[in-house]
Amino acid sequence: MTQDTTVPKLVTVIITTSPTPSAPSTELVSAVIKSFEEHCHALTLCNVIVVFDTFDQIVPTARLKKGQVTPQQAAYFDEYKKNVKELILTKYRHFGAKFTQRRVTAEYGSPNPQNTVEYTISQTSDKKVTFIEPSRRLGFGLAVRSALRVTQTPFVWVQQHDWALVADLPMEPLVQIMKAYDSHLETPIKYICLAAIPHYLERVFPSRLAMLRGDFIEDKIGQRARAQMKEGLFTKWATWLYYPDDGKQLCLKHLQGRTWAGAERQADRAAMWRERNEAERAAQDDG
């Protein structure tokens, strides 16, 4: 069997996105999907879940990691979600598909009624495409957990909206390694840019206290993992990386989603600075 027929049966793509300076343009997500098409076509054939995390506050100066956006970014968010949905439905060949909807609750922290976030799950009848839209900001950690809970394949590819592939990825043999070693008692391989659903849920989200609203997995769980590794619990947390050419081959590129304003706005900004610098030089020459 080829990669394009094997991988989609075993892997679901989870894309997390949120307000960004480039909205309502879909440049970031488009770049990610284009990188799939160029370097790992099988990822465009998998089931896909997109989580549209929202914001907490509208402020003069954005702090996106804390859920704080400018008035303009807040105003563009609904249009951005619409544009991303159209992009996903087109690229994953489901444009015009009918959706079913249901409301679900994400719990976190102590068992207090206030420690919940309602979100909507919109899903095509064949469950090929799923959109998750929370009523309040979840943060990356709870966004991933919400997607994992509706995933039906054994493995997931978790994709943030501003990381693109820049090298070919042999997904099919990596998935086969995952299948072969998932239950190995001594050296279980739990993820190679992919993760087994039970591993994610048991290690990262063992209880509602494990991840609070707004938490990032790498900030919260990474510290816990390092601390336990220092105590000798390496097998529990061992991370297996696809590491071609002894790490000399770059596989991913960060697109700087928190600062990238989109090609048109970036060009306008560059032109503005050129004009300002030229005006300053002219003033100095006249002086």
Domain positions in the chain are 3-256, 263-287
How much is the pLDDT for 120?
98
234 has a pLDDT exceeding 60 = no
How much is the pLDDT for 33?
98
Strand partners, 12: 47, 156
The whole-number average pLDDT for the span 145-164 is: 95
Tell me the per-residue pLDDT of 29-88, one tens digit each, with 9 for 90 and over.
999 999 999 999 999 999 999 999 999 999 999 999 899 999 999 999 999 999 999 999
The whole-number average pLDDT for the span 151-175 is: 93
Output the six-digit token pair for 218: 């790498």
Q: Where is pLDDT greater, at 202 or 189?
A: 202
The whole-number average pLDDT for the span 163-189 is: 79
Query: What are φ and ψ of residue 189, in 5° steps?
Result: -90, 115
What ranges make up the beta strands (E) of the chain? Answer: 11-17, 47-52, 57-58, 68-69, 99-107, 116-124, 129-134, 155-160, 163-165, 195-196, 252-254
How much is the pLDDT for 144?
94
125 has a pLDDT exceeding 60 = yes
188 has a pLDDT exceeding 90 = no
How much is the pLDDT for 136?
96
Q: Is the pTM of this model over 0.85?
A: no
DSSP one-letter code for 208:
T
10 has a pLDDT exceeding 90 = yes
Band (pLDDT 50/70/90 cuts) for residue 265 is low
184 has a pLDDT exceeding 80 = no
Q: Hey, what CATH topology would domain 3-256 get? A: Spore Coat Polysaccharide Biosynthesis Protein SpsA; Chain A (3.90.550)
118 has a pLDDT exceeding 90 = yes
Host H or E run for residue 274: helix 263-286
How much is the pLDDT for 41?
96
| DSSP secondary structure string for all residues of 125-171 | TTSSEEEEEESS---HHHHHHHHHTT--SSEEEEEETTEEE-S---H
